[in-house]
Amino acid sequence: MLFKLFSTFFYLGAVTFGGGYAMMALLEHQLVEKHRWLSSEELLEITAIAQITPGTIAINAATFVGRRVAGIPGAIVSSIAIVLPPLLIVGTLASYLPQFFGQEWLHNAFMGMRYAVAALIAHAAVSMLMKGVTSKLGRALFLLALAILIFTPIHPLLMIVLGGSTGIALHALGIIGNKAEA
Amino acid sequence: MVFVELFIAFFRIGLFSFGGGLAMIPMYLTEVEKHGWMTQQEFMNIVALSQMTPGPIAVNMASYVGSGAAGFAGATVATFALALPSVLAILALTSVLHRIQHNPWKEAFFFGIKSAAMALIFYAGWLIASDTLALSLQESEWSAVAGALVVAAVYAARTYLPKVSPVLLIVIAAFVGFWVF
């Protein structure tokens, strides 16, 4: 199991470009669809937790999943595995990369990749919304949060805190019960 | 001692930054300039490079800066120092969450943050798409149309051919970008 965790997160570290959210699509594919280590709902919870804990989303997710699947050793193995590919590539090639990445053909290839990543995020997001947020109230809160993000310069961390406070307020008012209808 | 300085600087960045890669840039800049590891201009090039090399942006930036300051060993120290606070924070949090597993207040809290996290993911997709579209429009209208077609094609492929790996789709899109844009 530790080896499987290592190879999965090493792969994720080697093939994701752009970090955190761009990684969501691949995390959804690898962890939820392929290995079934997590449900869509849990992946969503991790995303939220990663926002309110220090550090990068990708490492947070690796630690969380590793811990869930194989305890503390799993957490350590997954976290090391995800930083290893970028460390090896950048650490050994740092002085050559700037010349290489100045080329125009590469710029165009990256434009294509960015469009693909946007589509992958959209697809993962819709699939997570369908499976992870199923109540009318949850979806209404989602739309409200999206509108706030688009029309105000709110910080992502504050958005998560606001969401959590809203959930607690709804519970205090008796609108959502013991089993929060996710 | 450059390794101790790197460790402290990157541990601090890892500890006090929330929300991932791009949100960390101001903190990086402060540390990098304070220690004289590189100029602001050099650092801005690193930010762009970090989005092009594989892996999380923040990890790439740490590897670049560490490597510039003290070679491969410097990159290793910076990367692990950056990752350490994330790992410790998640381990601490998961043990607390495990203890209050069926607490209704916790469930209510998660009910709220799931909707907020969902909105953040949609918003991130929207930001990447609109950013890239604006860049395309500076170059040519054709490139913007081609970009929209790539988005539609990748979305359709994920919907109707779920077995195809997202990584393969990104590679294909890179070739399309190379030939078409």
> What pLDDT sits at residue B5?
95
Checking if the pLDDT of B105 tops 80, the result is yes
Q: Which residues contact B38 (CB under 8 A, 6 or more apart)?
A: B32, B46, B65, B68
Q: Would residue A36 be called left, alpha or beta, if left means φ above 0 and alpha means ψ between -120 and 50 degrees?
A: left
A120: closest CA among A7, A30, A10, A6? A30
Whether residue A43 contacts residue A30, with contact meaning beta carbons closer than 8 Å, is answered with no
The token duo for B60 is 């790439």
Distance CA(A169)–CA(A87), nearest Å, equals 43
Half-sphere exposure of A127 (CA within 13 A, CB side): 21
Flag the least confident range among A126-140, B9-23, B72-86: B9-23
Distance CA(B63)–CA(A17), nearest Å, equals 15
Domain final residue pick, B59, B83, B99: B99
Of A52, A86, A122, the CB nearest to B55: A86
3-state helix, strand, coil in chain B (%, to 5): 85, 0, 15
Checking if the pLDDT of B107 tops 60, the result is yes
Asked if the interface predicted TM-score (ipTM) of this complex is over 0.95, the answer is no
Amino acid at site A103 = Q
Residue of B121, B130, B154, B179 to mutate when probing chain A, most A C-beta within 10 A:
B121
Same domain, B9 and B94: yes
Same domain, B79 and B149: no
Given an 8 Å threshold on Cβ–Cβ distance, is A182 in contact with B162? no
Residue of A114, A127, A136 to mutate when probing chain B, most B C-beta within 10 A:
A114
Whether residue B18 contacts residue A54, with contact meaning beta carbons closer than 8 Å, is answered with yes
- A170–B contact, CB cutoff 8 A: yes
Same domain, B24 and B80: yes
Same domain, B171 and B128: yes
Angle at B106 between CA B101 and CA B109, to 5 degrees: 145
Domain final residue pick, B77, B99, B121: B99
> What pLDDT sits at residue A99?
72
Chain B environment of A82 (Cβ under 8 Å): 55-56, 59
Q: Name the minimum distance, in Å, from the CA of A80 to any CA of chain B.
A: 8
Same domain, B6 and B94: yes
Residue of A31, A39, A59, A106 to mutate when probing chain B, most B C-beta within 10 A:
A59
Using CA atoms, how far residue B123 sits from A35, A142, B103, B127, in Å, is: 27, 11, 30, 6
Amino acid at site B165 = S
Distance CA(B43)–CA(B25), nearest Å, equals 9
Angle of helix A20-27 versus helix A104-132 axis, rounded to 10: 60
Same domain, B47 and B117: no
Of A64, A106, A121, the CB nearest to B121: A121
Same domain, B84 and B150: no
Whether residue B148 contacts residue A122, with contact meaning beta carbons closer than 8 Å, is answered with no
The token duo for B166 is 């997202």
The confidence band for B19, taking pLDDT boundaries of 50, 70 and 90, is low
Given an 8 Å threshold on Cβ–Cβ distance, is A86 in contact with B125? no
Distance CA(A63)–CA(B181), nearest Å, equals 39
* pLDDT (tens digit per residue) in B33-68: 889 898 877 787 777 777 777 888 788 889 999 998
Checking if the pLDDT of A137 tops 70, the result is yes
A150 against A156, higher pLDDT: A150
Same domain, B73 and B117: no
Angle at B104 between CA B100 and CA B107, to 5 degrees: 80
Using CA atoms, how far residue B20 sits from A28, A55, A122, in Å, is: 18, 6, 19
Checking if the pLDDT of A13 tops 50, the result is yes
Percentage of residues in chain B having pLDDT higher than 70: 97
Given an 8 Å threshold on Cβ–Cβ distance, is B20 in contact with A124? no
The confidence band for A182, taking pLDDT boundaries of 50, 70 and 90, is very low
A80 against A16, higher pLDDT: A80
- A155–B contact, CB cutoff 8 A: yes
Distance CA(A11)–CA(A16), nearest Å, equals 9
- A5–B contact, CB cutoff 8 A: no
The confidence band for B21, taking pLDDT boundaries of 50, 70 and 90, is low
* pLDDT (tens digit per residue) in A37-88: 888 888 888 888 877 788 788 888 899 999 988 999 999 999 999 999 999 9
Which chain B residue lies closest to A151 (C-alpha atoms)? Answer: B123
Residue listed under structure tokens 């697809």: A123
DSSP-based three-state secondary structure for A17 = strand
The confidence band for A16, taking pLDDT boundaries of 50, 70 and 90, is confident
What is the span of the domain harbouring residue B58?
2-99
Checking if the pLDDT of B176 tops 50, the result is yes
Given an 8 Å threshold on Cβ–Cβ distance, is B20 in contact with A50? yes
Percentage of residues in chain B having pLDDT higher than 90: 32
Same domain, B116 and B171: yes
Identify the sign of the CA torsion B26, B28, B32, B38: negative
Same domain, B83 and B157: no
**Mean pLDDT for the stretch of residues A77-102:** 85
Amino acid at site B7 = F
B28 against B89, higher pLDDT: B89
Domain final residue pick, B64, B99, B134: B99
Same domain, B173 and B113: yes
> What pLDDT sits at residue A58?
84
Checking if the pLDDT of B23 tops 80, the result is no
Same domain, B6 and B92: yes
Tally of domains within chain B: 2
